[in-house]
């Protein structure tokens, strides 16, 4: 199979699943400060219902953590070879805007893997969780590299788009992949800012994250407004293969809400800000949008699910539903 940046959606989806399981345990199981670890699970005092819930979640988290790490290694090797040949990259970047944004998927996936290492992997590896502050500086360096590559690609895509104007009426929700990548890079930086015990590391991460969040939020408002306006003008939905991309708004909303919340945690830790109201607003608002958009999208795509989904061939946009 020929390599495509869209291949990185597989480890991205695996990382998303394991982070969902981890997030539930993080907030559902009482534990000390910081991120939850396997040793924090009070097995002896759990009810039968809790045990039947936590054991599958931990199993899912373990399986998909391994899948994420294995796939990211395989596809990273493929990506390096693909970039080295240049021809494949040049052909990919000469496509329409909605396809070109697929170049952001590897950055999103690598950012997801960083979050998997800092949270689910540390959950299972006591040595990592015990020395989590030791990976903050390398993590900051990697976050900076990912942000630099993301910004460079964003300007490259923008320059290509402006120099070769395309038919903007053909834009679809796949166009939001760069906003999605910013969301995952934001989450990585905000996580470091909220977790680091070193003020300099936390502050650098927070400043860079605020830069990324500002750019990502601006792109989200502009692009989403235009896409909704364009869809309202249209007499029909996009082609069946493109329709699952409507779901991209759901993870984007969650990522930005959590990123803003973690920046609030940084402000609370180092500047004693009262974040109760602000953090409640960011989390609640983002999840209300996510749930509302998901319900609306399922209703909007009723015909797609009834008449097309089960007999359709694989298409990269279907990962958006995961």
Total of domains in the chain: 1
pTM of the model: 0.92
Q: How far is CA 148 from CA 33, 126, 279, in A?
A: 32, 32, 28
CB 179 within 8 A of CB 219: yes
Confidence band for 67, pLDDT divided at 50, 70 and 90: very high
With both helix axes pointing from N to C terminus, report the angle between 199-233 and 177-195 in degrees, rounded to the nearest 10. 160
Decide if pLDDT at 210 tops 60: yes
Residue 28 belongs to a domain with what CATH number? 1.50.10
Alpha-carbon separation of residue 78 from 4, 11, 99, 184, 264 (angstroms): 9, 13, 19, 22, 38
What integer is the mean pLDDT of 65-73? 97
- For residue 307, pLDDT over 70 is answered with yes
Query: Could you give the CA distance from residue 260 to residue 56 in angstroms, rounded to a whole number?
Result: 30
Residue 205 clears pLDDT 90, i.e. is over it: yes
Q: Please say if the pLDDT value at position 33 is more than 70.
A: yes
Provide the pLDDT for residue 318. 79
Which range marks the domain in which residue 87 is found? 5-321
What are phi and psi for residue 314, nearest 5 degrees? Answer: -60, 140
């Amino acid at each position: 199979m020929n390599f495509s940046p869209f291949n990185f959606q597989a480890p991205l989806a695996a990382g998303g699943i394991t982070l969902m399981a981890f997030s539930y345990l993080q907030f559902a199981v009482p534990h000390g400060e910081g991120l939850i670890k396997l040793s924090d699970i009070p097995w002896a005092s759990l009810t039968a219902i809790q045990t039947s819930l936590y054991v599958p979640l931990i199993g899912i988290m373990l399986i998909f953590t391994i899948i994420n790490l294995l796939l990211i290694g395989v596809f990273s090797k493929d990506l390096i070879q693909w970039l080295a040949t240049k021809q494949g990259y040049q052909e990919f970047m000469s496509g329409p805007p909605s396809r070109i944004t697929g170049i952001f998927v590897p950055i999103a996936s690598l950012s997801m893997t960083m979050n998997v290492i800092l949270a689910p992997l540390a959950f299972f590896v006591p040595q990592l969780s015990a020395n989590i502050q030791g990976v903050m500086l390398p993590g900051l360096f990697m976050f900076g590299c990912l942000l630099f590559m993301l910004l460079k690609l964003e300007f490259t895509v923008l320059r290509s788009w402006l120099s070769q104007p395309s038919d903007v009426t053909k834009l679809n929700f796949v166009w939001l992949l760069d906003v999605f990548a910013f969301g995952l890079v934001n989450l990585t930086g905000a996580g470091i800012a909220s977790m680091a015990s070193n003020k300099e590391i936390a502050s650098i991460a927070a400043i860079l994250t605020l830069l990324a969040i500002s750019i990502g939020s601006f792109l989200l408002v502009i692009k989403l407004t235009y896409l909704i306006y364009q869809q309202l003008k249209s007499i029909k939905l996009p082609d069946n293969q493109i329709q699952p991309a409507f779901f991209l708004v759901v993870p984007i909303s969650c990522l930005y809400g959590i990123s803003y919340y973690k920046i609030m945690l940084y402000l609370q830790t180092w500047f004693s800000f009262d974040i109760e109201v602000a953090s409640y607003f960011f989390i609640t608002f983002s999840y209300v949008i996510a749930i509302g958009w998901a319900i609306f999208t399922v209703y909007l795509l009723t015909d797609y699910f009834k008449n097309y989904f089960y007999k359709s061939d694989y298409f990269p946009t279907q990962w958006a539903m995961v």
